[in-house]
Copies of this chain bind each other. A is one copy, B any other.
């Protein structure tokens, strides 16, 4: 099988390394380069493969048909431009081109790679804005409710979510040291202050929703995984609400509607969103509780980036992805 050459800029962070590991197992891709400025020249083992880092300036951008940019938010835009200048198509894992982003292009001028919801916009894209980890879990969970008009108009979608520490990146911050995180649990960006909110609001609006979202993220003492607990006031209870999601995502290989609430163990190292739906008992206001779980580094970052690359390149969407 011909292997499409691809490159990774920013390959020493958690998402970048995950991407290199997945590319190594992808039957249709080969890694042309992996950049990491501080570790340039180092040879590292990632999963069962090995990678030698180059400086970004030395990366042979022209050799790659697709370049993945896994650079810090704000730093990606320049390198996306550099890669585009060589004719490569780009999947950008930063927030720079996402809807609602402070920098970069405005809402949805760059195709937004939440593949299951926006698959049609991707094949012709020059740049795909790969979604944030929290938005991936939350938006897949609530999209059917919005498009089917189940939510009480104007009501607040309430999201309490928790992420493993790789979501904070491979940053030597004192508050991310083992002895600080272990045996602890804390909320952050409390008060609806998280930068993923603009991205979620933009997509909710694009899907036709007219609801506020209240989002409180937490830091979990685990390495990887996101669990989002979402409560949504609905107009009425139906017998079997999960059927809405089963219908909406019928045939989607990476979305699982579970009978029991998913846990992180169900999804780590897999490119899936797994979710459950329950009716809240003893409530005057009918309210659904959706629990959605993803691996923040796979479906929340590197796996979804490869899923988008598969679509970009006209490959079978599931190719090389761990479901």
Chain A residues within 8 Å of B, Cβ to Cβ: 14, 45, 48, 154, 156, 158, 160, 162, 164-166, 170-174, 176-188, 190-193, 197, 201, 212, 214, 216, 218, 220-225, 227, 229, 231, 233, 261-266, 268, 270, 276, 278-285, 287, 289, 291, 322-323
| A264 and B191 contacting across the interface, CB-CB below 8 Å | no
Q: Given that A174-B170, A212-B283 are known contacts, is A183 also in contact with B184, CB under 8 Å in the complex?
A: no
| A186 and B156 contacting across the interface, CB-CB below 8 Å | no
For A216, the chain B residues whose CB sits under 8 A away are 160, 229, 231, 289
Pull 6 A–B residue pairs with CB atoms less than 8 Å apart, ordered by A.
A48-B322, A184-B225, A190-B276, A191-B279, A197-B282, A216-B231
9 tightest A-B contacts by CB?
A186-B263, A160-B160, A191-B278, A178-B181, A172-B172, A179-B223, A192-B281, A192-B280, A178-B178
Nearest chain B CB to A187's CB is how many angstroms away? 5
With A and B bound together, what is the CA distance between A154 and B166 in angstroms?
Answer: 40
In-complex Cβ contact of A291 among B156, B178, B190, B276 (8 A): B190
| A162 and B185 contacting across the interface, CB-CB below 8 Å | yes
| B220 and A220 contacting across the interface, CB-CB below 8 Å | yes
Indicate how many identical chains form the complex.
4
For A166, the chain B residues whose CB sits under 8 A away are 179
A260 and chain B: residue at smallest CB distance: B190
With A and B bound together, what is the CA distance between A270 and B47 in angstroms?
Answer: 9
| B178 and A266 contacting across the interface, CB-CB below 8 Å | no
| A184 and B265 contacting across the interface, CB-CB below 8 Å | yes
A323 and chain B: residue at smallest CB distance: B48
With A and B bound together, what is the CA distance between A201 and B192 in angstroms?
Answer: 27
| A212 and B284 contacting across the interface, CB-CB below 8 Å | yes
Q: Given that A45-B266, A188-B261 are known contacts, is A283 also in contact with B214, CB under 8 Å in the complex?
A: yes
A154 and chain B: residue at smallest CB distance: B284
Q: Given that A187-B291, A191-B281, A229-B216 are known contacts, is A222 also in contact with B261, CB under 8 Å in the complex?
A: no
